[in-house]
Structure 1
Amino acid sequence: MLTDYTKEFFKNYKLAYPIMLGQLGHILVGFVDNIMIGQLGAAPLAAVSLGNSLVMFALFLGIGFSFAITPLIAEADGEEDYIKGRQVFQHGLLMCGVLGILLLLILVFSKPVLYYLDQPEHVVELAMPYLNIIAMSMFPMMLFQGFKQFADGLSLTKYAMYATIGANLLNVLLNYLLIYGIWFFPRLELEGAAIGTLVSRVFLLVFLFVILFKKPKLKPYFVLMKKSLQKIIFKRLFNLGFPTALQMIFEGGIFTATVLLAGTLGAQAQAANQIALNLASMTFMIAVGLGVTATIRVGNQKGKKDFESLRRIAFSIFMQVFIIMAGFALGFIVLKDFLPTLYIDDIYVVTIASQLLIIAAIFQLSDGLQVTILGALRGMQDVKIPTLICFIAYWIIGFPISYFTGKADVLGNIGIWLGLLAGLTASAIMLFFRFNYLTKKMLH
């Protein structure tokens, strides 16, 4: 019966909403940057899009690894083993810090690659100083991720949400002052936006650290380990984090590729692409919250060996995300001509972006489904085959369509986005078959 599934909706939502708001907070930082920079023109907006394509690739790698901390902390918390929890937390935090430095170096040294990607030269020049400052934010961002995933593992999800809201407000204020040179602040334009992001990420880290450090029940976790570093803990973190990072890179990589492909069509086409991507990524964060919920609830049922409930709860989440994303799809279609005007006053850019939003509306459904099914499979600790599925869907199916139909003399930007639609749909279908096959096998 339908009520068997719908009765789970509230419990799903209750678990998902702090994660949704936290994830949405990071995207809203980009939304604010894009709206304020869009007022400077198409070239600066295209430069931010180009710079952020490298930044997002780095973040996918780092955040994917940090996701390994949460289930291990939750496991130790369930066992009431503070020593084990402290070891996982401190090893995980060290891993995040090292990753933050590595990602900073990768961004700095990969900058010259932008000159060889057939991008407009003036756009690349504008992106360089922006990237230098954003690269420095990777270290505090990754340490924040370490603390956030630790808190999530202990079911303390609201503190990261508070930090994110505070950081967003600070980012809006600094952007306004530094991009346009308001009051006695210098007019720094793109570099001002980057400084705003850097300061807000330092704030994120300090705010969350202070809150967690002051919690009396968390004191045991902050006592430094007496034992030296242990390979076995790093290995567990790696085995859980690496496939997740790969999944995020395969999916994030194809979105990065659309930015680069759009750049070959000119600054205006790239600006339109950035607007549509930013809008689609905001609605996607709602689905991400439900994806994490799927991991938690499916994992719980797997532990109880209640496979009937596991399958029913997972399907309730798939149904819920489909309904929500269908609502967003309708919104994109109805508001396709209005939403791009929030970013930029350029009729050509707005026209292209409104066309892309129609395709974005359609792939809302498959994008929401694939991320929740992926979350359910992660809850079942099935990570290797789903990683292969992601690679096939995005890079064997999606990217070739984007590449060949996205040329200026074929379909241009629309062709690029048709590739995204094909990749996301293929991913959702294959992951569903995988989930259906495994859960039916469990029942027999």
Structure 2
Amino acid sequence: MNRKCKKIALITPSLAKGGLERVVVETAQGLEKWYDVTVIVMDTFRTDYPYAGRCLDLEISWEDRRIAVRFYNFLKSIVSLRKLQKKEQFDLMIAHGELTSFPAILSAMSACVPVVHENRLNALKDLQGRATNFLLRLFFKRGSVKKIVTVSEGIGKSLQCGLEIAPSKFKTIYNPFDMETIRSAAQKIPEGYEGIFMPSAKVLITVGRLTHPKAQWYLLRIFAELKQKEETARLLILGIGEMKEELLELCRALNLSAFDGIEEQVPGDTYDVYFLGFQENPYAFIRQSDLFVMTSLWEGFGNTIVEAMVSGTPVISTSCPSGPREIICPDLPEEAIVAKPNEEGSGVLMPTFENRFVGEDEPLSNVEKVWADTIYELLHDEKKREIFSKKGLKRAEDFRRESIVGEWKEMIELVLNVE
């Protein structure tokens, strides 16, 4: 490789399943046309998003959450990155997420650009959250940080205010999507799952980790109400996470029959809710569904909303910070309160939920009732679903990989003062 070609390192915690990891690989593939690209992985314990280019593994695991072990691995990652920089002489390091950004900044011998995928300032109030916020304020003001990239405008505005850093240092670059690959993968349902999508069924789908921020318990409560009026309704939940047992228990309490993709191998066609775990090809499930639903309390961007749009499935989503509103209704002011269903964008933007777990004992809130009614109406209005499908396909084009990678190139050249 000619040394005149700038050397760019993209750093990721892993190449395992996750929106951040996919973004790193998509971006690296796009930047190869102009730069000498290396992907640095903290730990390749599993590879769900393979990268065909040059990839280096630091073999530093973050699975053990004990404070002493994490602190040791933090120091180890700083040392490893500094050694690698001395050897490779990178012109720029682009670090995705806090696990890579903090050690990259502290080890930096060249320009560094952290990429923020989550709104940590508002999301976490526990000890870990407060520590993360402190480190953000401490590290992001260092001289080696030439630019701070956020995956949504909402994250950028929150950080500007919370960190007291000049707006000029921030740049929002949305996540890239390979439209053709998604559409190709969406064409065929994996063998054994066809029975879920029988013509008479009304199928809802959500995709995301089973964690508190995704708030799938609200979706289960709403779905139980929906079933009172729409007996053919089915709910697919794709993803894994620590809240799975709580969600299964809630299904039992709400008298919803649930398929457990871990315990059972072949899904029948008589369940109400299907927990299908992680799927390598979620797009096929999304495309076959009638509605994509997101009930998150907060998001960094909302990758699955765009993936649903690309797949041609209409979207109904909470207006939580930060990404859904920007994707679905980009012209709606951030401060505008969504108190009722907003159908003016490329999907249906809905009121948000309280940030707390709600079980089966509490009656449905007014917000949950509005959700149930809106979903029911959409399921029975094929023309409206078709309109939102077309609007979604058009909006998704704004996130095409080629144009997003072009924004990355402009930012990189600005940082490195490339003429």
TM-score after normalising by structure 1: 0.29
The structure where strand makes up a greater share of residues is 2
Higher relative contact order (CA 8 A, sep 6+): 1
Structure having the larger proportion of residues in helix: 1
